[in-house]
Structure 1
Amino acid sequence: MDSSKILKMVIFAVVVLLAFPFVMKLIPEPLTMERIQAGFAASGLPVAQMQQVNPTNESVAELAAIIGVVTLNVYQYNDEGKIARYTEYQKKDAGTAIVETWNLSESLGAAPRRDTPSKYLRRGMFLAVATGNDVAMVDRVIEAFKGL
């Protein structure tokens, strides 16, 4: 082998070894239930209660929290199909959107809908659903989850 090639490979190896710790700091930590709890505690939001509860709806772990007037549920799944299905459940279907837009149910004599505002966010294998009457606070909770 040529000595210039060996020198280039040695320099490349030294650069990789020196850059490795800096690159590892740029990679975010994996999201866990403990990290979510610590993140909300440090976010400055008024966390009244936060605890892990028995998982429901095919999730492997669930975190329930009351943040101000907002109820937050964070579900952790281990199957891509299950989290995709429950994410779709959070979306408003087309039929309901049409009925609400055209006020069809009210025109037939039904009482107007009074849904509690809610938002959801999926991050990897975690699904967060925030529900509360204060829309601004619901948005703040979802933004805090997005920033974890």
Structure 2
Amino acid sequence: MQKILDITSPDNALAVHHAMNTAYFQAILRGLQEAVTAHDLQFVSAGDQFVPGGACCEMINPATPAPEILSAMANSVNKARQLWLAPQTNDEDLEYRLERDLEEGYDHRWLMGLLEALGNMGIVLAKPVKTTEY
């Protein structure tokens, strides 16, 4: 007979915490990345003067984009978060949760927290500068 394995050790708890939160935040960051890209923005390393392809970019303060862009980004982050936590949520319940979080400012707080954390890691929002070729 096999010995019953006790999975409640601190090492197991830490490993599970790390694995689950990594997957959770990857889903959230994927939602953020999609929203940023949809609004012709991108993330770059704060130390970079150029973005991929050699085109110059303009660094953007996270509070600077138009309110509708920030709202779309916050909604995308919140939707990704909600769907990761409750993947079988029906459309009506999801809409209700997203609207409630918008009204309470919860989605905006999540967005700004993510942008601040990324900024602390040297990852910032940027807008590509269109260059004219001759």
Q: TM-score, normalised by structure 2?
A: 0.26
More strand by share: 1
Structure in which a larger fraction of residues adopt helix: 2
| Normalised TM-score (structure 1) | 0.25
